Chains A and B, each alone.
Chain A
Amino acid sequence: MDINSLAGLFNYWIVIVLMMTGFYIVIARGNLIKTVIGLNIFQISVFLLYITMGRVDQGTAPIIQEAAQADQAYSNPLSSVLILTAIVVGVATTALALALIVRIREDYGSIEEDEILILDRES
């Protein structure tokens, strides 16, 4: 694998780095807010993956213009459309998660998972 193909896959490397970073945060952090942030990073890496795969070599934005050449290539718009949906889902998830955290904090006075578990055990 030469440097060109490595560099050519730049986006995918970023996807993987982001994905693992997000995933690690979700697993390793006990703070509920940080968990949500991790989850967001994790999801965003997937958005990036989708957008990247829609790119076509030499392609332009998929807007048909009369002056365009007959063999003009366009990027695939569908993956961007899909990811719009996924972003909405992601936002909803984040909103819900934050709402839950608010309620958890009201009930326990803490957003650290280990502290909450200790409180639960005591009660």
Chain B
Amino acid sequence: MIEQHLPVLIVVVPLIAAPLCVFLFNRTLVYLFALATCWATFGMSLFLLAKVLESGPFSYELGNWPVPYGIEYVVDYFSAFVMSFVSGIGAVVLTYAPKSLNDEIDPSRHYLVHPMYLLCLTGMLGICITGDLFNVFVFLEISSLSSYALISLGRSRRAPLAAFQYLVMGTIGATFLLIGIGLLYQLTGTLNMVDMAQQLADDHGSRTMLVAFAFVTVGLCIKMAVFPLHTWLPNAYTYAPSVVTAFIAATATKVSVYAFVRIVYDIFTPQFAFDVHGLDLFLTVFSLIGIFVASAAAIYQGNLKRLLAYSSIAQVGYMLLGVSMNNQDGLTGGIVHMFNHAIIKGGLFLVVGCFALRLHSVRLEDLRGAAKTMPLTAFAWVLGGLGLIGVPLTAGFISKWLLLTAALDNGFYLVAGLMLISSLLAVVYVWRVVEILYFSEPADAVESAREAPWSMLIPTYLLIVGILVFGIWTSYSVGVASQAASALLGGAP
């Protein structure tokens, strides 16, 4: 009975839990309640994934209204896959959170942090599961609004301004998406994605469709932080509380990529987007420029969080490279990279949170020699960094390898070469930090610091070890991603 309603429960449970949190004034109670909700959500997403893997995609009609009148929730390989890692990272990061939040946010506000966190999670899961285009917009705004609020809670006084800038950019992006959805609705008279795709199939090339396509693409590109629409991201990630950064950096851009892939592949069809209108070329060029510019910028950052933020912009470029290749291997690579990058970047930002807790700074000059007093944290950085570079036996290698073979199969030799050279820039910015951690004389603050507490190290290592595990055992990540890719490409599911 319950099982049958899981697709809606996975969204509704965190949604209902969020306001309930506010009423539980006790700080510990709020935390435990939110934590339980997160893990329950993760459990549900795993259950849905298992069900999809066992018996194929299925859908759920909200309030028993038949499609296309009612809203439909679709659980297929792609959505179940993204939901599983988004909720998983949400749960792990929240497990890690209490000590870090105590340090960075006034305790009297904690009961507000957790509802926002849950709402953000709700929004992202909603984007994944819904089969209704307008719903995508609503959930996008739910997750965005709560993430603006979360970011503004940062300790620095720059945090509200960073959140405000993100809000302006984010709202423009979301409104663009809204315009696009409106035009599509005008064209087809339906909001259900499957129905819409069928109606649009007869309508290739009308001007309304083209305009809708343009608005949706640009809107989502802002949300994905595609170069040159990435300007909101570095400040937002830098000034947000460490826990929030870890959660948002690991999930938010991936979910936007998810929405983008869904809309381009399922509604507009690759034939229209890539073959007729050349979106692939556009994406490839901007991804590559973005990868190079953002990686180069990361090299020059003096703040660890900002360094990782720029690296995130670059990594989104790799995902979009895969998406733009429009073939099985490339799309698989792009989707797997969403997952791999989520655990890598999540893990690395948790490491940064450990440093922030003990050293009260994430500026590189304050981290000098930290490997002496915080060896486990520093080693976690090394492992995560290797994943980011894409060294074999880490998750990063898997996605990079898939993208490489896909590019070569397509005959994109230049793209393949540039992609590999760009990953060397990651070596520079990761190793620069490694050298500071290991080969510098410790500063006074570092000398007297202690290793991060186990309550934070264990969740951190959960993700870091995940990088190694998913670098060796790929049948889950690559397996599901390739099924998702072949379903998107219209092959047998």
Contacts and interface: CB of A to CB of B under 8 A. Distances in A.
Interface of A: 23, 26, 32, 35, 39, 42-43, 46, 49-50, 53, 79, 82, 85-86, 89, 92-93, 96-97, 100-101, 103-104, 107-108, 116, 120
Contact of B160 (A50, A103, A120): A103
B148 A100 contact: yes
B101 to A, nearest CB: 19
A95 to B, nearest CB: 9
10 contacts: A26-B172, A39-B168, A43-B175, A49-B182, A53-B185, A93-B145, A93-B171, A100-B160, A100-B163, A101-B164
A6 B141 CA distance: 35
Q: With a 10 A CB-CB cut-off, give which of A53, A100, A107 has the most chain B CB atoms.
A: A100
Contact of B138 (A89, A108, A120): A89
Contacts of A92: 141, 145
Contacts of B157: 107-108
A100 B182 CA distance: 29
B226 to A, nearest CB: 19
Contacts of B168: 26, 35, 39, 97
Q: Taking chain A's interface residues, is the majority helix, strand, or loop, or is none over half, making it mixed? A: helix
B26 interface: no
Contacts of B242: none
Contacts of A26: 168, 172
A23 B179 CA distance: 14
Interface string B156-186: 0110110110011001101100110010011
A42 B172 contact: yes
A35 B171 CA distance: 12
A96 B149 contact: yes
Given A43-B171, A43-B175, A53-B185, 7 more contacts: A39-B171, A46-B175, A89-B138, A93-B145, A93-B171, A96-B149, A100-B161
Contacts of B182: 46, 49-50, 53, 79
A104 B164 contact: yes
Contact of A53 (B149, B160, B163, B186): B186
What band does the interface of chain B fall in when counting residues whose beta carbon is under 8 Å from A? 20 to 34
A25 B158 CA distance: 23
B73 interface: no
A86 B186 contact: no
A49 B179 contact: yes
Given A35-B168, A39-B171, A96 B160 contact: no
Contacts of A89: 138, 141, 145, 174
Contact of B185 (A43, A79, A93, A100): A79
Given A46-B182, A50-B182, A97 B167 contact: yes
Interface string B120-164: 000000000000001001100100010011001000011011011
B448 to A, nearest CB: 26
Contacts of B137: 86
Given A53-B185, A85-B138, A120-B158, A100 B167 contact: yes
A114 to B, nearest CB: 12
B175 A42 contact: yes
A46 B162 CA distance: 26
A104 B161 CA distance: 6
Contacts of A101: 164
A44 B145 CA distance: 18
Contacts of B167: 93, 96-97, 100
Contacts of A79: 182, 185
Q: Nearest 5 A-B pairs (CB), nearest first?
A: A107-B157, A103-B160, A53-B186, A89-B141, A100-B164
A97 B353 CA distance: 27
A85 B71 CA distance: 15
Contacts of A108: 157
Nearest to A120: B158
A25 to B, nearest CB: 11
Nearest to B190: A78
Contacts of A97: 164, 167-168
Given A46-B175, A79-B185, A93-B171, A103 B152 contact: yes
A85 B185 CA distance: 16
A30 B329 CA distance: 46
Nearest to A113: B161
Nearest to A15: B179
B142 to A, nearest CB: 8
A46 B171 CA distance: 12
A104 B160 contact: yes
B426 to A, nearest CB: 29
Nearest to A43: B175
Interface in B367-414: none
B154 to A, nearest CB: 11
A97 B387 CA distance: 37
Nearest to B142: A89
Nearest to B151: A100
A43 to B, nearest CB: 6
B256 to A, nearest CB: 17
Interface string B83-115: 000000000000000000000000000000000
A46 B178 contact: yes
A93 B148 CA distance: 10
Contacts of B174: 89
Contacts of B160: 100, 103-104, 107
